[in-house]
Copies of this chain bind each other. A is one copy, B any other.
Amino acid sequence: MSSAPRKPRTTLTRERVLDEAWELIRAEGTDGLSMRALSQRLGVVPMALYRHVHDKDDLLDGLLDRLTARVPIPGPRVAPRTAVERVARGIRDEVVDNPALVPALVLRPSLGPSAYRMGERVLGAFVQLGLTVDDATRAWNAVSIYALGFGVFAAPRRVDGGFPGSLGAFAERVTPEADTLAAASEVDRTEWVSDAQFDLGLRALLDGLLTAR
């Protein structure tokens, strides 16, 4: 009998690499995802990954498409404005709970097949709402930027305080008559991520986009 220990071949696929990368970056954060760490998790030498992924950027693109694919796309029966709102909220939700992907997201525009499917649905909705195709495109730009921006800047990140002393004290030091800010500064942190906050802006944006021209 042959005594050579058999490694089960083709144990690696692009799918498996992406699966493991997804879990790794979720568990360990942006910096936790390295080719070396990932390969180790897969019980393989680092360079093995490069048979299934062009380079690290390619891997990140794959992860971003997965993120996009997680946003539920409303069926055709859903009313157009509702559909837009759901997609916008879906984008925000996914970004917010995958903060480790934010740096990658910011370096790459939409791309990915999933992003296109999403765009298709939303553009259709805007057209149903009476916009021309061009205006629909502009509206989708504005809405997606808002949703992405909200996700990006609302996602939990380094919250090291930043300033010596309290916020109010700081504001007063900068501009002695800064009572407005000092008073307001109590609000923002807790409410920053809230649904109400998001919806307020989104509704305002859509109202503006859809009325008169």
Which residues of A are interface residues toward B (Cβ below 8 A)?
61, 102-103, 106-109, 111-113, 116-117, 119-120, 123-124, 127, 133-134, 136-138, 141-142, 144-146, 148-150, 152-154, 157-159, 162-163, 170-171, 174-175, 178, 180-181, 183-184, 187-188, 191-192, 197, 200-201, 203-209
Between-chain CB contacts (< 8 Å), 16 pairs: A103-B103, A103-B106, A106-B106, A117-B174, A117-B175, A119-B184, A120-B180, A123-B180, A142-B204, A144-B153, A146-B201, A146-B205, A201-B205, A204-B205, A204-B206, A204-B208
- Chain B hits for A141, CB < 8 A: 188, 192, 197, 201
- Chain B hits for A158, CB < 8 A: 107-109
Most chain B CB within 10 A, of A124, A141, A174, is at A141
The answer to whether B178 and A120 touch across the interface, beta carbons within 8 angstroms, is: yes
Interface of A is mostly: helix
Closest to A178 in B: B120
The answer to whether A201 and B171 touch across the interface, beta carbons within 8 angstroms, is: no
- Chain B hits for A205, CB < 8 A: 146, 201, 204-205, 208
In angstroms, Cα B140 to Cα A192, docked, is 11
In angstroms, Cα B163 to Cα A200, docked, is 36
Other than A137-B184, A146-B149, give 17 A-B pairs with Cβ distance below 8 A.
A107-B157, A108-B157, A109-B158, A109-B159, A116-B174, A116-B181, A117-B174, A117-B175, A120-B171, A120-B175, A120-B181, A134-B184, A137-B188, A138-B191, A141-B192, A146-B201, A203-B208
In angstroms, Cα B206 to Cα A207, docked, is 10
With contacts A123-B181, A137-B184 taken as known, whether A102 is within 8 angstroms of B111 at the C-beta atoms is no
- Chain B hits for A120, CB < 8 A: 171, 174-175, 178, 180-181
- Chain B hits for A123, CB < 8 A: 180-181, 184
- Chain B hits for A204, CB < 8 A: 142, 204-209
